[in-house]
Amino acid sequence: MLDIHRLREDPRGIEKRLRTREPAIDLAEILELDRRRLGLIQEVEAIKAERNRGSQEVGRLKKEKKDASSLIASLSTLGEKLASLDAELKETAARVDALLALLPNVPHPSVPVGPKEAKVVLRSRGEPSRANFPVVHHLDLGEKKGILDFRRAAAIAGARFPMYVGLGARLEMALIQFMFATHARNGFTPVLPPFLANSESFYVSSQLPKFADDIYHCEKDDLYLNPTAESLLANLHRGEILSLDELPRRYVAYTPCFRREAGTYGEEERGLIRVHQFNKVEMFSFTTQEESYAELDHLVANAEGILQALGLHYRVALLSSEDLAQQSAKTIDLEVFLPGQNRYYEVSSCSNCEDFQARRGNTRYRPSSGEKPLYVHTLNGSGVATSRLVASILENNQTEDGRVRIPEVLQESVGAEFL
């Protein structure tokens, strides 16, 4: 959530930057309501002061055995007016908070302005796979080898749910274990969180209220299925005040993720690219305001380390303003090349949310003893999602005789050198 003080201090500047994300954003209503709220606060405080003076005067009159009935009647009228203003103040404040909750984060000045296509490729590693034979789409190859079974998955759960079988299941689990253990060795505290969370948790992480239609909701228990472990990890220190020497706090979690992913996406509908359920290893950091962009580089480097260990070509892209998630101030994606489709797909997204989530969760740190607490900055990074990694391995590691070479770091866990 944005700091209302920032909007008051620089309404035109903030609105201009927010419009690089959503051109239709208009802060007029929220600013007008905020002015009304401040005015109501002044009125309420003035009436309370007047009522206190009147109560003291009633006490004095009674002590002197003088008639206080007219003053008591006047105080009663003040009480009614105060109750009415209090109700209006609560309603106005709630409306301001509701509108604030819908606003996205302010993009960092380094973020390129424009639609999704305006992203900037910062660097790449390796070269795209150029096989001298036709590369088979991962879905066709997986079904032929019996390691992917979307038909039976559809019978169990419906369309766009994957099922891994045999060595496919072992490859999926090997990826999870490899990534989880690697990040743990690199100083991230391992976490296996609940896969369901309450509405407050999803409000803190910023899935609610704006994106309620995109997530699975268990109405009977009023719990939501995890779309990404960021939704859970953002709440680890909700309501806490951390000390400076505790920061940065780095966590890595494994969770299955569930997303409606509504709509049609052409080629993306086929196979593992865009599914309702997938596995992901997620990195999450709590750090100081001064160090958060260095921490973003740290998350990106750790995600890159996974792709390098797997021997995959990838590129690093800085997302444009209109492609940012609501909570993000800056996002850097890692994209792998799939030769079966001749295009790149994002496999890791690393974001600095600055204090956007921390304000919602009231997560703060104290710079030093006796100083006023400040909001932490929160960051998240896929470390990474497995489904597109499996697709990338299947398409990039094909051999001319129809086999698929398993990355060396996974061969012992999978129990084979080739699929």
Residues tagged active-site: 259, 274, 346, 349, 388
Burial class, 133, CB count within 10 angstroms (exposed 0-12 / middle 13-18 / buried 19+):
exposed
CA 171 to mean position of chain CA atoms: 27
Q: How far apart, in whole angstroms, are the C-alpha atoms of residue 256 and residue 275?
A: 12
Residue 208, phi-psi category: left (phi > 0), alpha (psi -120 to 50), beta (remainder):
beta
CA atoms within 13 A on the CB side of 367: 8
Burial class, 2, CB count within 10 angstroms (exposed 0-12 / middle 13-18 / buried 19+):
buried
Max Cα-Cα span within the chain: 108
The DSSP call for residue 418 is: B
Q: How far apart, in whole angstroms, are the C-alpha atoms of residue 376 and residue 250?
A: 13
Q: How far apart, in whole angstroms, are the C-alpha atoms of residue 339 and residue 141?
A: 13
Q: How far apart, in whole angstroms, are the C-alpha atoms of residue 296 and residue 289?
A: 12
Burial class, 180, CB count within 10 angstroms (exposed 0-12 / middle 13-18 / buried 19+):
buried
From 331, 335, 326, 334, select the one nearest 351 (Cα to Cα). 331
Q: How far apart, in whole angstroms, are the C-alpha atoms of residue 195 and residue 257?
A: 8
Residues 6+ apart with CB under 8 A from 80: none
6 three-state secondary structure:
helix
Q: What is the CA radius of gyration of the chain?
A: 27
Residues 217 and 224: beta-carbon distance below 8 Å: yes
Residues 137 and 340: beta-carbon distance below 8 Å: yes
Residues 289-307 as b/e (b if ≥16 CB within 10 A, e otherwise) read eeebbebbebbbebbbebb
CA 63 to mean position of chain CA atoms: 63
The DSSP call for residue 340 is: T
The H or E element spanning position 213 is none
